[in-house]
Amino acid sequence: MIKKAALGIAVLALTTSCVSKKVFNDLETKFADLKKENRHTADQNDSITKAKNQLDLDYIALKSNYDKTKSERDKLAADYAAADKNLKTLQASYKALEKNSDESLQANMAKNRELLAQLESKEKALASEKDRLNKLNADLKDRSDRVNELESMIAAKEASMNKLKETLSKSLKAFEGKGLTVEYKNGKVYVSMENKLLFESGSWAVGTEGKKAVVAVGKVLGDNPEIAVLIEGHTDNDKFGGSVGQIENNWDLSTKRATAIVNILTENKAIDKKNLTAAGRGEYAPLMSNDAPEGKAKNRRIEIILTPKLDEISKMLNEI
């Protein structure tokens, strides 16, 4: 559908002669880059979640190996103690047998030497197991420290996003009950604005009240330069009935509305334009059923999705 929307824009551009082919190609390239960046962000989130799950599994495996090695060490220690006891018994027997015949004495000496050799062998095995256990302990601690550090970084990101949500809620309090909501979920902050706050039907021009809300969001974003911002335009499933030649369909309308919000945000010089992405979702991501007017009203909206940059976490995962 995105390709069809792009094709529609191309046909519109060629038929109306409103824009040059170069401008259209630039727009099409930007559209593809933005779509790629959106997929990359989603892939990063999936990659982080999978990596954390794998670290948890590795930790469990190391803990199990640690417990097994400790049990083996305890068994070797018990064997060592038993052998040591036998040695002392044999040493006492040796003294008693010194008075016996040379033949009996030599036999007992040979047995003693054999037991001593066995004891030495067990001592070496125990020392080797101790070394292996120490290495496993060090490895386990290193992995555990890295997991704890990663969890701390993730927790810090979550705390930062919760604080951002609270800041936005306070800044946008004047728009409560006017079709604007602020929500934190899945590690992201969602600012949702219904069209009744922003646009007239079939239009992508932002009204005065809506522009105030967008400017208020922009002030908060200007103070948080490490946040990626995705602006999504959404419509209901009513076919576009506006003037032919200006808007091709709901995809086109939702994209123009998202771009209109981006244009307002970029008026704030504190916002890094590289952090902004505009996308049109048309009618294909509804919040409610379009069978009732109330549902359609909820579906006609702009969503500003704020995502923390995960470069630090990704780097740490690669190091692990």
Q: Mark whether 293 and 315 lie in a shared domain.
A: yes
Q: Mark whether 118 and 216 lie in a shared domain.
A: no
Write the CATH number for 217: 3.30.1330.60
Q: Mark whether 196 and 314 lie in a shared domain.
A: yes
Q: How confident is the model at residue 52 (pLDDT cuts 50, 70, 90)?
A: confident
The residues with which 145 forms a beta bridge, in sequence order, are: none
Q: Mark whether 45 and 177 lie in a shared domain.
A: yes
Q: Mark whether 157 and 169 lie in a shared domain.
A: no
Which of 142, 161, 180 marks a domain boundary? 161
Burial (CB < 10 A; 0-12, 13-18, 19+), residue 47, is middle
**Residue of 211, 218, 208, 210 lying closest to 171 (CA atoms):** 218
Q: Mark whether 187 and 300 lie in a shared domain.
A: yes
- Choose between 36 and 95: higher pLDDT: 36
Please provide the average confidence, as pLDDT, over all residues in the chain: 82
Q: Mark whether 240 and 295 lie in a shared domain.
A: yes
**Residue of 170, 206, 198, 168 lying closest to 184 (CA atoms):** 168
Largest alpha-carbon pair distance within the chain? 123
The per-residue DSSP string of 197-250 comes to: HH--TT--PPPHHHHHHHHHHHHHHHT-TTEEEEEEEE--SSPP-S-TTT--SH
The CB-based long-range contact list for 238-246 (8 Å cut-off, 24+ gap) reads 238/290, 238/296, 240/202, 241/202, 242/202, 245/12, 245/15, 245/16
- Say whether pLDDT at 127 is over 90: no
> What's the confidence (pLDDT) of residue 65?
80
Q: Mark whether 155 and 208 lie in a shared domain.
A: no
E strands, the chain, are 180-185, 188-194, 227-234, 276-282, 301-308
Mean pLDDT of 202-226: 94
Q: Mark whether 147 and 168 lie in a shared domain.
A: no
Which of 139, 161, 183 marks a domain boundary? 161
Q: pTM (2 decimals)?
A: 0.55
Domain of 136, in residue numbers = 62-161
Q: Mark whether 204 and 108 lie in a shared domain.
A: no
Which of 126, 144, 161 marks a domain boundary? 161
> What's the confidence (pLDDT) of residue 145?
64
Domain total of the chain: 2
Picking from 52-56, 185-189, 291-295, which range would have the lowest pLDDT averaged per residue? 52-56
Q: Mark whether 138 and 157 lie in a shared domain.
A: yes
- Say whether pLDDT at 260 is over 90: yes
Q: Mark whether 36 and 167 lie in a shared domain.
A: yes
